[in-house]
Amino acid sequence: MSRLGIKVALIDDSSVIRNSIHEIITIWGYDVILEAVNGEDFFSRLTTANAPDICITDLNMPVMDGFETIKMLREKWPAIKVIAFSITGNRREEERALLLGAHAFVSKSGSILELQTSLQKMKQTTPF
């Protein structure tokens, strides 16, 4: 598949999840430019030179969770689109993430096609 020119950051405390999503979305044509184990790790590495177009963040992580990460991204980096990514699929968690400013919510226990659909919708609605 050809490269889309869309830069993605992955934030998840599970290296298995990060590595798997990295491989899959790379096949889909996205460029994973930044990976982190939690929000604090992500913000310590984030610069204007490596800012992603889209950030996929787990919600339940130690140190700085996805909710705090989403809030800070919306305040300090509003151009970055955010996909909240959680194993629970809990409706309350989804609503909270969207209220904080996530652009989409994808359950890790659902089909990987849900993530692909969310990424495609962001690609269609934002000129990267």
Encode pLDDT of 32-57 as tens digits: 999 999 999 999 999 999 999 999 99
Within a domain: 49: yes
Number of separate domains in the chain? 1
Domain that holds residue 104: 7-125
Within a domain: 91: yes
Within a domain: 1: no
**pLDDT band at residue 89 using 50, 70 and 90 as cut-offs:** low
Work out the end-to-end distance of the chain between its first and last CA atoms, rounded to an integer number of angstroms.
Answer: 18
Within a domain: 82: yes
Encode pLDDT of 62-82 as tens digits: 999 999 999 999 999 999 999
CATH number for the domain spanning 100: value is 3.40.50.2300
Within a domain: 2: no
Within a domain: 35: yes
pTM of the model: 0.91
Phi-psi region of 101 (alpha: psi -120 to 50; beta: other; left: phi over 0): left
